[in-house]
Structure 1
């Protein structure tokens, strides 16, 4: 790993920890934190091989998720967008936009929840495109795209006849209407919007891949890889929460079946798998890791609630926030049921 851990922790302490409750309770979007990560070079890929990029950026997601998984999810959204461009053959995107996305000048989002489900036979594709001179015109609605704002770009896939095209969309594009979605029990501060495309023109220079289906096969393992540390961070935080209350009620918590030691063992196993898989990420192995990470995360937050007792049920408690974060992790695309289907097919 080639990452400045002290610098990362300093940014977390300065930009994230003070706003965690605001993120959870007031749907505050910690945009400044993600920008600071970019400015500090944590998304810079210019001098790293692919394995180091994966390991370093997964570590950023992990450390963020220990404090606030909602914001870590936003970091994951940004990393997904980086992945699209890094693996695209589009010279303009790689030379003109990628550096700005890596240095925090611009931020990115995924936009592929619906297409990932489409390619697994779970949903119909929500966007359609028409090939025109100089690019594509896109219509349709994406129900939820997270990590959006004024300086943001996101990936989108639309049907074009019998195939699909993948493009990069600026939130400032004419004909694109964004409507904020809030009221979730978790991840309120994820800057999530419904995106309505009304004859949105996307120039050819913003086409990520003409053959979107084949391109998704390329990016899917990395897409899922970056999700795993979301759960690992929550597991670590839950284990820490259990240790903090071990003396509660004269140490009675020692009789509970799941203790912090088991959570740390699960955490270590997940991190070791991520380290190994970074050198050659395969869809089959990362799907299995991601699926197990969900089960481990759910076990961890439930144990943390039991160890905290009544204090965990107080509104605003860390234990209850971690519980809600874990359920979001389980339902993040690919969801548990989606992962189970993928596992059978692989």
Structure 2
């Protein structure tokens, strides 16, 4: 199994210092991405021939987990950037990847994964929110996305799925914030993770050429990138759970009779992480999404229970500002994990449909 990632000491200290400000949005949100980029995090799991540090997506999962141990806001931004990089790595549009990867790996450009809508579309949960009308020399796009992270105010590129007015299969495209008609809203008024540059997008008569198409067929592309999309997302739950369980130990879990409960959660977490790594390594999730959905649910549940154990171990100190700031932030972070798209309720509904179909097939 891929070992946990050790962050550069300077980055770890910076995240510890600014975690609260990132969560509350009192630090300039455009500050974060260059800090992560300067530490080389976006190169992890990217082939060396393309400017990366080598390894594979499992290494990136562990890097996101290491960041999430200190700040889920930073991990959320990391996930958005790294997911967009993964789309480029798997796109047949190699010229787009060659043009775009250097600035993304160096964090000179923000990359956003606007494919949450698309993943729900793939499962039949939601219709696509952007329509493309083919023109003589381009496509004209209209629509919007309600919630996208890492829309850095200094500039960004975002992946989006678009339906086609000509009846052809939906496509996956890359939209640049500098184009006329790409309009970013103010930051969404979140209760936590406020420094994540999360906003809505309006797409108004945007002209897009073929050179910015990540894949011409979304139904073929999305299943191939879904393991990375969800696997990288799982890194947030893994890191949060590790941090909370460590804090529970430090707060006296053994003295409060919680040692067995914490140990059981640690074992469950380790088993889920191992299963995630194995599935990403052997490719099984590309043809069997249900086990990946179950792992995403299990890891989110583990993170929730881990924070509860931290509370039980801390007792009343958790409600004292002088002692409980880190816990309070992790509590808010844990409340976000179940609703990250696809949410746990959406995944459970999809699993119910899958199990019913399997029963009929049997």
Indicate yes or no: 2:281 matched with 1:279. yes
Q: Do 2:137 and 2:209's aligned partners in 1 also have CA atoms closer than 8 Å?
A: yes
1:168 is aligned to 174
SS of match in other structure, 1:94: helix
Conserved? CA contact 1:40–1:103, under 8 Å: no
- Kept after mapping to 1: 8 A contact 2:12/2:70: no
Q: Following superposition of structure 1 onto structure 2, how do residues 224-239 of structure 1 map, counting pairs within 5 Å?
A: 224-239=230-245
1:134 equivalent among 133, 137, 140: 137
TM-score by length of structure 1 reads: 0.90
Alignment partner, residue 158 of structure 1 = 162
Question: 2:65 aligned with 1:62, yes or no?
Answer: yes
2:331 alignment partner in structure 1: 323
1:269 aligns with one of 262, 268, 271: 271
- Structure 2 runs not aligned, ≥5 long: 356-362
* Segment drifting more, 87-96 vs 175-184: 175-184
Mark the CA change 1:340 to 1:55 in structure 2 (over 3 Å): closer, same or farther.
same
The two structures, once aligned, show a CA RMSD in angstroms of: 2.6
Cα offsets for 1:286-314 (capped at 9, x unmatched): 22211111111111112212222223234
Q: Cα deviations across residues 291-343 of structure 1 (Å, max 9, x unaligned)?
A: 11111111111221222222323467211211221121111111111111332
Question: Is it true that 1:245 corresponds to 2:251 in the alignment?
Answer: yes
In structure 2, the CA distance between the partners of 1:68 and 1:186, relative to structure 1 (3 Å rule), is: same
The offset of 1:47, in angstroms, is 2.6
Q: 1:31 to 1:16 in 2, by over 3 A?
A: farther
Deviates more, 1:171-180 or 1:24-33: 24-33
Cα shift readout 1:3-32 (whole Å, capped 9, x = no counterpart): 9955x3324234322211111223536544
2:226 aligned with 1:220, yes or no? yes
Distance 2:222 2:26 in 1: 31
Match of 1:19 in 2: 18
**Bigger Cα displacement from structure 2, 334-343 vs 218-227:** 334-343
The alpha-carbon deviation at position 200 of structure 1 amounts to 1.2
In the alignment, what sits opposite 2:9?
10
| 1:29–1:145 Cα change, 3 Å | farther
CA contact (8 A) 2:113 2:148 kept: yes
Q: Deviations over 1:21-73 (max 9, x none)?
A: 11122353654443344344333323389993212111110100000111101
| Separation in 2, partners of 1:42, 1:188 | 21
Measure, in 2, the Cα distance between the counterparts of 1:135 and 1:40.
38
What secondary structure does 2:48 align onto?
coil
- Shift of residue 75, structure 1, vs aligned partner: 0.5
